[in-house]
Amino acid sequence: MKPILTALLLLFFANTYAQTAAELLIQANRATLEREYSKALILYSKYIVLNPADFRGYFNRGTTEFNAGKYADATRDFTKTLTLNPIYREAYYYRGLCQVELKQYDAAIKDYTYILLDNPRSVPFLKVRADAHNANGDEVLALADLDVAIRIDNLSGDLYKRRAELKVEMKDINGALRDYSSVEKLLPKYKMVHYIKGNLYLQIDETEFACEEYQKALDHHIVVAERSHYENCNP
């Protein structure tokens, strides 16, 4: 075969190969977005066969496995992702989430801490490490992470809500009330906060304040507040 013809054939097959791989990745991504996880996993696996050195195939298959609740499989794919791309932060993030689901809390905390050593102001990683600490039974470390996260982003209603919930677990009712008051300001659409605050005020025998919060909840059509208001606020 002539050298020029051979080169053209090789180029043709290379282009076809690349096109096939790209199409597989597009189809797999689309299937994932449509929550057709079984189909997506098959497509990602085919892509990986064609591109075993491309970390994207393992990472995307891992996130699909995570969404499908296949946490052990996802953990393996995220580990392979990090073998190919050791600095890929998202793989540490998702592997940690999988490890929490598998109750491997120390492993998750190790992954999150690895990123936080270089990025100590990463609020997303502080949040998930707080969750892992809390699940591991260490409320003090969880609170410390949320405190740092709030100092970095003091306009996040979600952070105050997370800290308030943790303070309730820690029996710090006054602290929880302060945080829920911040939630009320920062998340004005979250009307359930009035019912929650009402319940907390009852725990510290502040019935008048509790009734005010229950009434606010009722004004916003929070029906679960009806019984509490009836039992505690009617003369």
pLDDT score recorded for residue 235? 67
Number of other CB atoms surrounding residue 127 within 10 Å:
18
The pLDDT averaged over each successive group of 10 residues in the chain (235 residues) is: 38 44 87 93 93 94 96 98 97 98 98 97 98 98 98 98 98 98 97 98 97 97 96 86
Task: Check if the beta carbon of residue 213 is closer than 8 Å to that of residue 195.
Answer: yes
Q: Which CATH number fits domain 37-102: 3.60.70.12, 3.40.640.10, 1.25.40.10, 3.30.390.50?
A: 1.25.40.10
Task: Check if the beta carbon of residue 103 is closer than 8 Å to that of residue 137.
Answer: no
pLDDT score recorded for residue 17? 43
Number of other CB atoms surrounding residue 34 within 10 Å:
10
pLDDT score recorded for residue 22? 82
Residue spans per domain, the chain:
37-102
DSSP class of residue 187 equals -
